[in-house]
Homo-oligomer: A and B are copies of this chain.
């Protein structure tokens, strides 16, 4: 049977939430959330106040982003927010679409999303390292990066650049939190922080009110707001995550969310590195060690994806692994080399165990 690790489906988190039992149970009555509107006094009028509060509380606790003097815009996942941002920051009346770039290897959906409607507002212009035109551009900075897990900073650094910081993975189970991120435009998502991908909820922290307004306009035209049911559920979940660290007495030993899932990721990375060492056909990136302001721990990144390289004569790593019934996403999709594949580190335990077992048994014979 094939082991599917192409998408980043975060089912690893199911077990933790099962252990939490009733704590994150949400009850919604038939007469609630009928209206399109959540709070008309906000720029983003479809943002549920409860969800906004839970976001601010969690960022303050973790220390991974500044929320002061920012507008919060909620989206149907950070995928929608990314598109809302492209719309919000692209010059509306330019004679040609603005260039959108990101340093390779970059998230494989960025080029597809930027271009699929053949928009006259923006167009994908590829690897930021090779971008060298003196015109306005948008640079996507994903840190830590999807697919390779490294921390990132902007690389083009020209005057007319607009930066979008995608912090989907800037959480202490994956990487040491070095300081609160303090950029003009920052993206986060529930999918990768708590694992609730099925709820389709993300948020943006945005300094400029005009950008927040145009993002809101995009989301109104795109979907007339964001599911209230999912916002209410996400609010509850983020509150429980914060509670699990701030009111430990109400939780069992080792159940603080980031602690528990840091340990889970650490075990998985050790297991993967052991398998890679056994096989000798592959290699993995080495991450610098860093001190985490949240946990006080010093550790090497343990990303949500592994950027695995096939060594030696294997040129197409995706096909090679497919031959061994391991389905991954090849490096080419990320603007990188075919010698690499991206592997999800967030499947259920059974799948991950099967995967490392199968990987370790692949050898050159």
Interface residues of A (CB under 8 A from B): 7, 9-11, 13-15, 17-18, 20-38, 76-77, 79-80, 83, 87, 109, 112-113, 116-121, 191, 195-201, 218, 221-230, 233, 237, 240
User: Across the two chains, which residue of chain B brings its CB closest to A201?
Assistant: B227
How many identical chains are in the complex? 2
The answer, among B22, B195, B228, B233, for a CB contact under 8 Å with A198, is B228
Q: Roughly how many angstroms separate A112 CA and B220 CA in the complex, as a whole number?
A: 11
CB–CB B31/A83 < 8 A: no
Residues of B within 8 A of A195 (CB): 34
Evaluate whether A118 and B116 lie within 8 angstroms (CB atoms) in the complex, with A31-B14, A34-B195, A79-B222 already known: no
Evaluate whether A77 and B224 lie within 8 angstroms (CB atoms) in the complex, with A14-B34, A24-B29, A35-B198 already known: yes
Q: Roughly how many angstroms separate A28 CA and B9 CA in the complex, as a whole number?
A: 19
CB–CB A224/B200 < 8 A: yes
Q: Roughly how many angstroms separate A160 CA and B221 CA in the complex, as a whole number?
A: 28
The answer, among B23, B113, B223, B233, for a CB contact under 8 Å with A229, is B233
Q: Roughly how many angstroms separate A33 CA and B36 CA in the complex, as a whole number?
A: 23
Residues of B within 8 A of A77 (CB): 223-224
CB–CB A34/B221 < 8 A: no
Q: Roughly how many angstroms separate A32 CA and B240 CA in the complex, as a whole number?
A: 15
Q: Roughly how many angstroms separate A29 CA and B18 CA in the complex, as a whole number?
A: 8
Q: Roughly how many angstroms separate A112 CA and B221 CA in the complex, as a whole number?
A: 8
Give A231 Cβ to nearest chain B Cβ, in Å. Answer: 9
Q: Roughly how many angstroms separate A77 CA and B28 CA in the complex, as a whole number?
A: 19
CB–CB B25/A26 < 8 A: no
CB–CB A223/B200 < 8 A: yes
Residues of B within 8 A of A38 (CB): 198
The answer, among B18, B34, B79, for a CB contact under 8 Å with A223, is B79
CB–CB A223/B80 < 8 A: yes
